[in-house]
Amino acid sequence: MSTMVDPGPEAPEAPPVEAKPPTRLGDLLFSKVSLVSGLIVILFLAGVGTFLLIQGLPALDASGEATYGEPDIWKFVGMLLYGTIYASLIAIVIVTPLAVGLALVISHYAPKALAKPVGYLVDLLAAVPSVVFGLWGLEVLAPKLLPAYKWLNEHFSWIPLFDGSVNSRSLLTASIVLALMALPIVTALLREIFAQTPRAHEEAALALGATRWEMIRLAVFPYARSGMVAAILLGLGRALGETMAVAMVLSATGTGYLTLSIISAENPNTIAAFIANNYANASGDKINTMIFAGLALFLLTFVVNFAGRWIATRGQNKG
């Protein structure tokens, strides 16, 4: 057995021992390419950040005309941040149960023959351009929702959410469109997380006489908890920055209204939609104001995505 004692007939073919391990051209090339791409990404991110800072900071003492009628920049960006976060949170409230349900159907309920096509279908949703979502929201969804809004307003206007003068192009319509746009990514992430549940935990639950739903509650959800939070945060990150659909669907002028109502004509506005709708006509100070708003969005999205990643990796380490 020992190779030292018995060189055997193939000994002459053995490669000569070298002090240095051979470096292969492919490996070398690959490591250089990855390094360069990594550096480009970092440089790019830093470049965007610097641009936003240099162009946005002069807006700090903007007011009046330059802040679109708001007394100062903080009120201006605060209003827009409110709308951005509000719309995204409603979108997340809508998308979470949908995505959890769909992901469970794909990972645990549907037979393989059905799960695959459903999965593809959801993925396809991600390929629908934002403009198309906007058009659809405006032309198809909004009119369909109007009767429901009227009904809600009639019976539940004592809840601030459903107060005000009803309009189909309301914050809720925009949030539903946002939810549909975030659905593919959140579903895809959740489906992967659910599918990774250790078989041993699932079988432990089933062997105790758990129904499938009980098995999911006992084995899948506890295992997936941090992953679910991460997936939802990443979906939130997606909704925060979404522009076209909201710009097209939402009826809001200027920085919008500071209101809780989600079915009325008087809506808050989101940062991305505000910039999209106003940038073309802006000049001078207004450009700085808008870039400042962009900086706020950049930071917000960054923090949310970062939190999502952080929770995801922390969950992985835990097991």
Q: Which chain residues interact with another protein by CB under 8 A? A: 111-112, 198, 200-201, 203-211, 214, 218-219, 222-223, 225, 319
Give the CA angle between residues 91, 251, 176 to the nearest 5°.
Answer: 20
Comparison of 204 and 282: residue with beta carbon closer to another protein: 204
Q: How far is the CB of 214 from another protein (least distance, A)?
A: 5
Comparison of 19 and 200: residue with beta carbon closer to another protein: 200
Q: How far is the CB of 186 from another protein (least distance, A)?
A: 23
Comparison of 19 and 207: residue with beta carbon closer to another protein: 207
Residue indicated by tokens 């990774």: 196
Comparison of 161 and 204: residue with beta carbon closer to another protein: 204
* 10 bridge partner residues: none
Burial 266-284 (b: 16+ CB within 10 A, else e): bbbbbbbbbbebbeeebee
* Among the listed residues 42, 69, 84, 72, the one whose alpha carbon sits nearest the alpha carbon of residue 297: 84
Q: How far is the CB of 188 from another protein (least distance, A)?
A: 22
Q: How far is the CB of 116 from another protein (least distance, A)?
A: 13
Comparison of 20 and 199: residue with beta carbon closer to another protein: 199
* 166 bridge partner residues: 264
Q: How far is the CB of 208 from another protein (least distance, A)?
A: 4
Q: Identity (one letter) of the amino acid at 95?
A: V
> CB of 246 within 8 A of CB of 270?
yes
